[in-house]
Structure 1
Amino acid sequence: MESKTSPTGGVTTSEKVVWFDASQYDGLDESCAYVFGGRSFSIYQVGGTGLTLVYDSGSDFEEVTAKYLPEVFNCSNDKITLDNRSGKKGTEPENVTVGTVSGKTYAFIALERIGGIIIYNITSPASASYVNYINSRDFSDAIAGDVSPEGISFAKINGIPTLLTANEVSGTVCAYTLTAKTTTSGSGGSTVTAAYTIAAEAGAGGSISPSGSASVAKSSSKTYTVTADTGYEIADVLVDGKNVGAVTSFTFEDVTANHTISASFKKTVEPAGTAWTNPFTDVKESDWYYSSVRYVSESGLMTGTGSGQFSPQAQVTRGMLMTILHRLDGSPAVSSTGAFADVASGMWYADAVSWAGEKGIAAGYGNGLFGGGDTVTLEQAVSFLYRYANYKGYDTGRTGSLEAFSDAGDTSDYAMEAMRWAVSTGLIKGSGGILNPQGISQRSQIAAILQRFSENIIK
């Protein structure tokens, strides 16, 4: 029942608690207020005559969450409003599992509503004790991060104690690695501490240290150093998929979640005015694309077509453009090839096509074919570059109008947003009020777009 005051007068609705009317049930003491819902975890000893309660966590869950998350205390799993949770279940301990870390036995209890995992040392069940609280939910939004752990499992993966959780509301899965932390108390021993994984990788032309996956204890810091090889410079560094610029170091502070960091590099281009030995007999200094050809040549994005030729008017193919973008990203390794029947492993653009597919930059025609030898229209080239910019975390929010071009209506619907972005950022300029979105891209044109992309977008 619900009323302003409980039958005993000790609990009011302002405290958001729902209670039984004890007079309606046999065996209940009418002098006590009985509330709905369990708010703790209990340990029972199994004996010949039944179960004996040896430990109960009492109000620990409320006290811990109130201490660490006071601004959202008693919130639900789809809201971040303070104390909006029904009084029936509170934090709602949903599941429990047991595991051993460094010879100690621990219980891991999932809290479905406010989220997170509470850890107890239960090596001696009758004297179980609270150890730690892990919560990788992002409270900047109602449903963000890892919300509402429903399933929980403990396993040793490659010898490392790992806690796995399936989060019902966010639809995410967490893997927490656990490390032992030696205590300095008089009794000695150890406690379990959550650790998170930071994965680091670097493209061709440089390195990142430390590389690979590193385990980082909760609330600690980890610094990464990015170094370019001789003849290269840092193009950009991505942290959790967002561009943080061409930084030489980055520190993760107060780590409470898994992270990724990656670095890409580009060949160093000599300053303007420095002499360049032009290797191409068909590119003259008076040509409008001269500086662009120099840029793509010196940066290693495009090479000649043989016999000292650049072939500026030659048409660009899908395979060629994927190779250029792959080089722009530092030519990172790919996990596999052979996704398309017409792109055999070992073909000169096979790795680039696989990379483009992995990063969501380009897909095939939907029939198992990629069409690497097919030519690329301007709107297709711009769309590929737009997706590349999104993948790299560059700003793609600038959009302008195509009204200044008389043939703007020739732009396909799928390419409209990318073309507006390219015009507004100066990547494409058209000629005489003509945009020519369906025109086949030429090598000189792509070289110019890449140079502008480097100057206007990557910076």
Structure 2
Amino acid sequence: STITVTATPDAGYELDYITVDGERIDGTTFTMPDHDVTVRVYFTDDAALPFTDVSAGAWYLDAVSYVYANGLMDGTSGTTFEPDANMTRAMVWAILARVDGETVTGEGWIETARTWAMANGVSDGTDAAGLVTREQLATMLWRYAGEPAAAGNGISAFTDAADASDWAIDGLNWALGQGIVTGMDDGILVPQGTATRAQAAAMLMRFVEL
């Protein structure tokens, strides 16, 4: 049978797209298979991004638009996103908690995020104020996904593969195989480099869209 999805966005938002079992569909109609499916509706801010430091040609524009429209990341002010700024471990816990449907706001947001991260096996809850590295972020996403097996040894393609921590190898290989994390233009991965807000936005968008 043919199914039409009716989605009413909140004020200030518009329908972006719909996925059925993770596959993006054209429009709002799809043919129902002979089994249950998961339908997800994504909305986007119907106005331009308010951030003056995210240019129209920036490689991270789509990612910033995505995390902002879906309430995963906010700006550092009403008009700035600071794409090159770093993120703390607690910020990542909070974002993943929001992906999981948790409300993480108010003065106690760090403890709320820490409790969620520990309960869900995402992190041990230490060093909340520490800057998150690329390998830490990849590993947290991998743990949240249920620690799936990696397809291949993608990290071996990078000249700085030896810089990755032993505990991060499985998570990095999985994230590389899924296209969640990518290398730099010069063919290195920089696993222990701090993750910028732009990089985090891109990784989160790719992860949620799996």
For the criterion TM > 0.5, the same-fold answer is: yes
Deviation, structure 1 residue 320: 0.6
Verify: 1:412 aligned to 2:168, yes or no.
Answer: no
- State the distance in 2 between where 1:376 and 1:245 align: 35
- State the distance in 2 between where 1:306 and 1:275 align: 19
Instruction: Choose between structure 1 and 2 for higher RCO, CA contacts under 8 A separated by at least 6 residues.
Output: 2
Verify: 1:448 aligned to 2:209, yes or no.
Answer: no
- State the distance in 2 between where 1:411 and 1:283 align: 30
Which residue of 278, 284, 297 corresponds with 2:49? Answer: 278
Deviation, structure 1 residue 379: 0.4
What TM-score results when the alignment is normalised by the length of structure 1?
0.36
For the 8 Å contact 1:399–1:417, the answer to whether it is kept is: no
For the 8 Å contact 1:400–1:420, the answer to whether it is kept is: yes
Q: Amino acid of the residue matched to residue 191 of structure 2? A: P
2:43 match: 269
Which residue of 283, 286, 308 corresponds with 2:79? Answer: 308
Instruction: Give the 3-state SS of the residue equivalent to 1:448 in structure 2.
Output: helix
2:4 match: none
- State the distance in 2 between where 1:362 and 1:433 align: 29
For the 8 Å contact 1:410–1:437, the answer to whether it is kept is: yes
Q: Amino acid of the residue matched to residue 399 of structure 1? A: A
1:170 match: none
Cα distance, 1:378–1:347 mapped onto 2, change above 3 Å = same
Deviations 1:63-110 (A, max 9, x none): xxxxxxxxxxxxxxxxxxxxxxxxxxxxxxxxxxxxxxxxxxxxxxxx
1:246 match: 38
Cα distance, 1:373–1:434 mapped onto 2, change above 3 Å = same
Which residue of 374, 393, 408 corresponds with 2:130? Answer: 374
- Of all paired residues, the percent bearing the same amino acid is 39
Deviation, structure 1 residue 330: 1.2
Off by >4 Å, runs of 4+ in structure 1: 228-236
Deviation, structure 1 residue 275: 5.5
1:427-446 to structure 2, matched below 5 A, reads: 427-431=180-184, 432-446=186-200
Deviation, structure 1 residue 287: 0.6
Cα distance, 1:230–1:283 mapped onto 2, change above 3 Å = closer
1:398 match: 150
Deviation, structure 1 residue 229: 8.6
For the 8 Å contact 1:427–1:453, the answer to whether it is kept is: yes
Verify: 1:289 aligned to 2:43, yes or no.
Answer: no
Q: Amino acid of the residue matched to residue 150 of structure 2? A: R
Cα distance, 1:428–1:245 mapped onto 2, change above 3 Å = farther
Deviation, structure 1 residue 399: 2.4
Deviation, structure 1 residue 235: 10
Q: Amino acid of the residue matched to residue 309 of structure 1? A: T
Higher alpha-carbon Rg? 1
2:3 match: none
Q: Amino acid of the residue matched to residue 286 of structure 1? A: G
Cα distance, 1:354–1:407 mapped onto 2, change above 3 Å = same
1:167 match: none
5+ long unaligned stretches in structure 2? 1-6, 22-35
Cα distance, 1:229–1:318 mapped onto 2, change above 3 Å = farther
Verify: 1:347 aligned to 2:108, yes or no.
Answer: yes
Q: Hey, which of these two has a bigger chunk of strand by percent?
A: 1
What TM-score results when the alignment is normalised by the length of structure 2?
0.77
- State the distance in 2 between where 1:411 and 1:398 align: 16
For the 8 Å contact 1:267–1:299, the answer to whether it is kept is: no
Instruction: Give the 3-state SS of the residue equivalent to 1:327 in structure 2.
Output: helix
- State the distance in 1 between where 2:108 and 2:20 align: 27
- State the distance in 2 between where 1:311 and 1:235 align: 33
Cα distance, 1:359–1:313 mapped onto 2, change above 3 Å = same
Q: Hey, which of these two has a bigger chunk of helix by percent?
A: 2
Instruction: Give the 3-state SS of the residue equivalent to 1:269 in structure 2.
Output: strand
Cα distance, 1:330–1:229 mapped onto 2, change above 3 Å = farther
Cα distance, 1:328–1:363 mapped onto 2, change above 3 Å = same
- State the distance in 1 between where 2:150 and 2:46 align: 36
Q: Amino acid of the residue matched to residue 448 of structure 1? A: A
